[in-house]
Amino acid sequence: MSITAIPNPSAINSRAIQRFLFATNRRVIDAILRLSPLPSMLKQDAVLNWYTEDANKYLILHLWGSNMTKHGYIKFLGTAGGRFVVAKQLRSSAGTFISAKGKNVIVDPGPGTLVRSAASRPRIDVSKLDAIILTHAHLDHSNDVNVLIDAITEGGLKKRGTLFAPDDCLNGDNAVVLKYLRDYLKDIVILKENSEYRLDDLTFKTSVKHEHGVETYGVKFDLDGTKVSFMVDTKFFPQLIASYADSDILVLNVVMDKYHPEYGDILHLYSEDAVNIIKTIKPQKAILTHFGMAMLKTKPWVLAKKLSDELGIDVVAASDGMKIEV
């Protein structure tokens, strides 16, 4: 039976589950029926611990999707950084999708975010997004913001969705949000440094203002005590350490492998900067992403493994489509 025939998990009843799992182990069917319509986390864990063989665990996971995670998940739709990697699409330049605390958010919807969302498995329905966060106005972080606003609001027919963005993205020479779309949104919130923001139960803070040429802020989510921080594009400066010091999961945009005189003093982190930041902050997990051409050539996954071995910290190099539970 095709998996596409499964009804929405929120609408699943015992009869639908019976039809779908008819040929599978009877004990699994009985367990699911006892937990219908949607089990609590405690009961879900109990079922998975009790029966984990073969395809049945996969079927249960597919049926309940993100309900199986403790708080939610982060999916890196793209990991490209720097104009050459973006232009050649050596890595996808799409943004980062966050599903947590009952909200769906995309951070920095760069070129291809709409397409990558549709191609994601499971598919990300951008019309169901609750918010978009722009950390700054540069093209590789904001290109798809307008088409996402149009999708969220169904072309302005439904006034919904919130845009969080620095003033730079809305006013002045670097404005990237089309004026005719702005009234479609339920709310537009201007980001400022070291400030706290709320989307119902989902809260996040901005970092100190980054050194990146345009108005730029990192974002730091608090997921029931787990601090998940995105240190987006910036040149290294000492105040970054204090601003991100409480991060449990730290995502760093690392465009360059090292200083290249021919490029001049670029306003991005080098791999050496990332190493020093991770050593100092000591997060539980560090994720390297937003790779430029030079960084890709040096194989960031090799650097990540080296750091993990040396520091005893879980360091990974993000890949397109990578998903982590939070």
- pLDDT beyond 80 at 242: yes
Q: Is the Cβ–Cβ distance between 320 and 76 less than 8 Å?
A: yes
| Mean pLDDT value across residues 88-116 | 98
- pLDDT at residue number 115: 98
- pLDDT at residue number 20: 56
Domain check: are 7 and 91 in the same one? no
Q: Cβ-count burial of 13 within 10 angstroms (0-12 exposed, 13-18 middle, 19+ buried)? A: exposed
Residue ending a domain, among 67, 99, 116, is 67
Q: How confident is the model over 273-320, as pLDDT tens digits? A: 999 999 999 999 999 999 999 999 999 999 999 999 999 999 999 999
Domain check: are 309 and 266 in the same one? yes
- pLDDT beyond 60 at 146: yes
Domain check: are 254 and 282 in the same one? yes
- pLDDT beyond 50 at 43: no
- pLDDT beyond 70 at 14: no
Domain check: are 59 and 158 in the same one? no
- pLDDT at residue number 21: 52
Domain check: are 111 and 241 in the same one? yes
Domain check: are 112 and 196 in the same one? yes
Domain check: are 200 and 142 in the same one? yes
Domain check: are 96 and 216 in the same one? yes
Q: How far apart are CA 80 and CA 27, in angstroms?
A: 46
- pLDDT at residue number 174: 87
- pLDDT beyond 80 at 217: yes
The pLDDT-based confidence of 46 (bands split at 50, 70, 90) is very low
- Residue 220: give the domain boundaries: 72-325
- pLDDT beyond 90 at 56: no
- pLDDT at residue number 45: 46
Residue ending a domain, among 67, 98, 116, is 67
Q: Report the side by side order of strands in the sheet with 103-107.
A: 187-191, 162-166, 131-133, 103-107, 96-100, 72-76, 322-325
The pLDDT-based confidence of 85 (bands split at 50, 70, 90) is very high
CATH number of the domain residue 195 falls in = 3.60.15.10
Q: How confident is the model over 183-192, as pLDDT tens digits? A: 999 999 999 9
Domain check: are 185 and 57 in the same one? no
- pLDDT at residue number 28: 54
- Range scoring the smallest mean pLDDT among 29-33, 257-261, 274-278, 288-292: 29-33
- pLDDT beyond 60 at 13: no
- pLDDT beyond 80 at 5: no
- pLDDT at residue number 259: 83
- pLDDT beyond 90 at 33: no
Structural domain count of the chain: 2
Domain check: are 63 and 116 in the same one? no
Domain check: are 38 and 77 in the same one? no
CA angle 221, 226, 229 (to 5 degrees): 40
Distances (CA, A) of 268 to 15, 135, 249, 256, 259: 55, 14, 20, 7, 10
| Mean pLDDT value across residues 53-78 | 60
Residue ending a domain, among 12, 40, 67, is 67
pTM of the full predicted structure?
Answer: 0.79
Domain check: are 40 and 189 in the same one? no
